[in-house]
Amino acid sequence: MWQALSVESWKARGRSDLSKVFPTVNDIIEQVRNEGDTAVLRLTARFDKVELTDLRVNRAEIDEAYSKVDQQLLDALNFARTRIEAYHRKQRPDDVTLFKDGESTLGWKYSPLSSMGIYIPGGKASYPSTALMCAIPAKVAGVRNVIACTPPPVHPLTLVALDLAGVDTIFKCGGAQAIAAMGLGTQTVPKVQKIVGPGNVYVTAAKVLLRQDVEMDFPAGPSEIAVLADRTAKPENAAADILAQAEHGPDSACALVTDDRDLVERVGRIIVESAEKSERRELIRSSLKSSGYIIVKDMAEGIAVCNELAPEHLSIQTMDPLSILPSIDTAGAIFLGDNSPVACGDYTTGTDHVLPTAGNAAVHSGLDVLHFMKRSSVQMLDKRTLEELAPATVRLAETEGLRAHAESVRVRLKK
């Protein structure tokens, strides 16, 4: 259960999972494209074993969900909501930024997207925290219409979290069919401009296949963690963070990257013993089949390995984690030192836990306010600047054969 890993096996895991399900997911997408609600209802009965007549969650269902959530949990959700909103408000750019370029004005303008779809996983657990993490940045950005899809039966906590986060409409559907419904539109589910949110391999595959129909955030599939640790690391902390990600599901992947062989043995021993005592031991056992350790000669090699892994979560448990931080280029979220469990980032630090997986942290950032906005450049030229820019503009336009471009400059100079 505790084994040696290679960078190649870690990276191959993410690629092979998607390719296996593409045919199935493509068939689901085409069913939704051709039949709309009828297909979504049929697929929901097939995959979720729930017979529905209406995909939309009504207000009475949301009110009933509140009655099933105790006050302490409601307080915890509100505490998390406040911190998530505060963190993301710091990310929101000014609507308009202008600066002088001589007598001219240049700049840019940010505008929110008009409609967003968020996907909240269900199934083996409820994820109210993901509802907050997806919806709050959208509302901070100023998106007017935010819809959510989540598999039935919807857990009361998830419904409450979506309502607290300000989601406008909630739909009871999950999996690839939910992504297709939001991306293509059905009789009940409106087509959105962009979809965000994590999911299983089928959800991730649907997001990849639907990119020509709707904008997506990034592939955010099964959970991952890499722990970069030296001889000063506490084995119980490293093991605890690995176990925390392993309990997400059977496709989770965890790696200990270290130059200390003794630490490998101690962490492995704790993981094996703790896994057997866990209520989710079957899930942990499954995820540990694709997890393990990578031994490096020193921390420089360890940093290089972590950058190549590009993990969703990177926990740096070394003597001086801040000195390592500047060298880390590819990680969805970075946790430094003994007192920074990934679990706090999952719920209450305020940072977003919707993060790229399967190596996609090499080119994608985790979810933030800018995922819900677009940027336009702004320019207002004065006459002197126009005269200064004109010769090069005309020459370049005519070189490219775009004479009307050149004339659009000349006509202004003639005035």
Strands (E), 121-220: 145-150, 169-172, 194-196, 215-216
| C-alpha to C-alpha distances, 273 to 238, 276, 330, nearest whole angstrom | 14, 6, 32
For residue 281, the tally of other CB atoms under 10 A from its CB is 14
* Cα–Cα distance measured from residue 311 to residue 299, given in angstroms and rounded to the nearest whole number: 17
Q: Catalytic: 313?
A: yes
* Cα–Cα distance measured from residue 12 to residue 19, given in angstroms and rounded to the nearest whole number: 11
* Cα–Cα distance measured from residue 55 to residue 58, given in angstroms and rounded to the nearest whole number: 9
Q: Which helix (H) or strand (E) holds 317?
A: strand 313-317
* Residue 219 DSSP code: -
* Cα–Cα distance measured from residue 106 to residue 377, given in angstroms and rounded to the nearest whole number: 8
* Cα–Cα distance measured from residue 73 to residue 75, given in angstroms and rounded to the nearest whole number: 5
* Cα–Cα distance measured from residue 335 to residue 317, given in angstroms and rounded to the nearest whole number: 8
Partners of 216 in the β-ladder: 195
Q: Which helix (H) or strand (E) holds 82?
A: helix 71-91
**Amino acid sitting at position 376:** S
Residue matched to tokens 């505060």: 86
Q: Are 316 and 337 in contact (CB under 8 A)?
A: yes
Helix (H, G, I), strand (E, B) or coil at 103: coil
* Cα–Cα distance measured from residue 415 to residue 258, given in angstroms and rounded to the nearest whole number: 71
Q: Are 285 and 2 in contact (CB under 8 A)?
A: no
From the candidates 88, 155, 248, 313, which is the catalytic residue?
Answer: 313
For residue 186, the tally of other CB atoms under 10 A from its CB is 23
Tokens of 172: 């009871």
- Using CA atoms of 8, 10, 16, 17 in order, give the dihedral in degrees to the nearest 10: 180
Please identify every residue annotated as catalytic. 312-313
